[in-house]
Amino acid sequence: MPTITDDPLFLSRLELHLLTLPSWREHKDRNDSWMTSKEIAKWYSDSGYSQYPPAEIEDYLLDKWKNKSLTNIRPAKYPNLINMQRLWGHTEKVYPQPEHLDPWKSDELQKLKKIAALPPDAPSAFLSHSQKDFDLAKQVRQTLGENYGVDTWLFESELNKDENIFGSVHLGLVHCDATMVLLTSNSIGSAWIHTEIVTAANTLNKKIITLTDAGDQALMLAVDSYLKNPEYSEDRLADILERYKQKEQNEHRIDEFKTNATNILNFLHLYSNFCVFPSIPDEYADSKFIDLKNALENVRHP
């Protein structure tokens, strides 16, 4: 049976097809300019060419990428919004390649202190967070384990160096009982956070709990205001957006941050309980934030 490595026209045919997709300046959805390996496999077969399993196409393209032999095709920085599958696009159609684009984890696994109180069958939560908030995420992990008996999945402490990021994160979402979102001024505009919560809720049917950073007053005010009146106004995030602009000059990334922030808040409002970490401040006693203990009551293994 022929394999993709025996097909000298596969890459050139794929390049030409990817050129027919909308450019990043025209598209309205993240996936418009890209294709997953599953979509590539179907297109190639439907076009009357050979039939290759999506996994074979994925491995082939990743191997070519790793060996720097893909000239006009590259993977996307973020996976498909619904199923965490890797996206592939033509370099002339997708946004210019970001500075850091690596399908594999580039740093060493972070070893964290074992939480002795946790039993082997403790309920588990995938903690969706920005890597910039790793120190805060470690505090969340400690509190969930010691005070609530919940085990926490953290990207930094679960993936070894050179592991496949998309596949490993997806498995983490699958195997955990619930998904928790650590909502901060960093994560609220993150495309990764958006992808993880949409996949968890819509594809995997997981319980979603949001932990809002109590130490960020601007964020607390924005979320509290939003919960009281979901008719969302960008003005509520003005301080957070201004803070982001001070760190980022690229207009495209600023626009993406704004879009993600709005999408994430809207999505979480539909699917999530909003809690506060480490606890609800007294000045928010009349807010719509939910006590974390109550939100965790139904986090159990099936």
Q: Which of 43, 38, 94 is nearest to 70 (CA)?
A: 94
Please report the pLDDT score of residue 236 as a whole number.
85
Tokens (6 digits) for 53: 């399993």
Instruction: Supply 48's token pair.
Output: 């009357």
How much is the pTM? Answer: 0.93
Is the predicted pLDDT of residue 301 greater than 60, yes or no? no
Tokens 């890597």, residue?
Answer: 131
Cβ neighbour number for residue 54 with a 10 Å cutoff: 15
Q: Percentage of the chain with pLDDT > 90?
A: 80
Question: Is 88 in contact with 74 (CB distance < 8 Å)?
Answer: yes
What angle (nearest 5°) sits at the alpha carbon of residue 181, between those of residues 152 and 122?
A: 25
Structure tokens at 224: 């509290």
Question: pLDDT of 127-171, one tens digit each?
Answer: 999 999 999 999 999 999 999 999 999 999 999 998 989 999 999
E-assigned strand segments in 91-238:
124-128, 151-153, 178-183, 207-213
Round the average pLDDT of the chain to a whole number and report it: 93
pLDDT at 158: 93
Closest CA to 268 of 220, 202, 215: 202
Is residue 180 within 8 A of residue 296, CB to CB? The reply is no
Do residues 140 and 182 touch, judged by C-beta distance below 8 A? yes
| pLDDT band with cut points at 50, 70 and 90 for residue 302 | very low
DSSP 8-class letter at 159: P
**Residue 176 confidence (pLDDT) above 80:** yes
Residues forming beta bridges with residue 87, ordered by sequence position = 36
pLDDT score recorded for residue 231? 84
pLDDT tens digits, one per residue of 251-271: 988 999 999 999 999 999 999
- Asked whether the predicted pLDDT for residue 25 surpasses 90, the reply is no
Distances (CA, A) of 208 to 13, 138, 151: 42, 19, 15
